[in-house]
Chains A and B, each alone.
Chain A
């Protein structure tokens, strides 16, 4: 699956760069929205077919919120350590990590602070999403299903969710959605907070 995903994304980037006309962009967002809705609908059917999912999630209860908590703290610590290597101060590096893969919003939130940092936030969160869609099947196979949610961050509720759902099971897909939703709400709070530390 990972190979298929990598090849597809690369073919997409190459055809976008070399072949396709700019005006396709006008439709791209609609196509993505529609495709995403369809996929989320399928994820829903998968969950509905496995009725035991809810009781198993209930058994875990509030502890499930530890997953987004771990992703958020891991992301901020990870980016802070990368910041030491790249000689970025903690608040700047940490704010990029706190973007949790939501590249559009995190770069907007940082734009008023510095254009340069905003661009870095954008690209590194785009790369985070690319890493997520390519490594989720691998992490699911080699490390574990719950861990496969981690690369996705905020995108666990939308663009990465179909991949998580395909690589794991309905229970983890549902945990992923909850995790993605919590992360999504955390981004606009955490990015400005860390930036102002």
Chain B
């Protein structure tokens, strides 16, 4: 877990250094957005494939999916509400 965290951090820092120090071509910077989108959608597709291939996951989706959905809607909902409150109270509330 810690090694993963460090690895992710290392890669972001590496990208950050390149973004800050290396003079990147304007063209590349403009393309960065669509490159990210393409990568992201591909990654999400593979994540979907992984879920679709896992019979156990698909079967439990059908049996306990509704309960799990209720659970996660409340979990996400209250997370957003709490961050909203904290943002308004302590972080300036803009954005």
Contact = CB atoms under 8 A, between A and B. Distances in A.
B72 A124 contact: yes
A11 B57 CA distance: 16
Given A41-B15, A46-B19, A5 B41 contact: yes
Interface string B9-34: 10111111111110010000100110
Contact of B72 (A51, A131, A168): A131
A184 B1 contact: yes
Interface in A33-54: 35-49, 51
Nearest to B15: A44
Contacts of B50: 12, 16, 25, 28, 32
Interface string A46-90: 111101000000001001101101110111011101110110000
A143 B83 CA distance: 11
A79 B75 contact: yes
B19 A47 contact: yes
Contacts of A166: 33, 36-37, 40
Contact of A47 (B12, B36, B77): B12
Contacts of B85: 70
Given A42-B36, A45-B15, A150 B82 contact: yes
B55 to A, nearest CB: 9
A162 B39 contact: yes
A40 B5 CA distance: 12
A40 B75 contact: no
A176 B20 CA distance: 20
A47 B82 contact: no
A44 B70 contact: no
Interface in A131-164: 131-133, 135, 139, 143-147, 149-151, 153, 157-159, 162-163
Contacts of A143: 80, 84
Contacts of B91: 60, 63-64, 66-67, 146
Contact of A44 (B14, B43, B58, B83): B14
Contacts of A157: 5, 8
Interface of A: 1, 4-5, 8-18, 20, 22, 24-25, 28, 31-32, 35-49, 51, 60, 63-64, 66-67, 69-71, 73-75, 77-79, 81-83, 85-86, 93, 96-97, 119-120, 122-128, 131-133, 135, 139, 143-147, 149-151, 153, 157-159, 162-163, 165-166, 168, 172, 177, 181, 184-185, 188
Given A8-B44, A81-B74, 15 more contacts: A11-B48, A44-B17, A46-B19, A48-B18, A49-B20, A63-B91, A67-B86, A74-B83, A125-B72, A131-B76, A135-B76, A157-B8, A162-B43, A185-B1, A188-B1
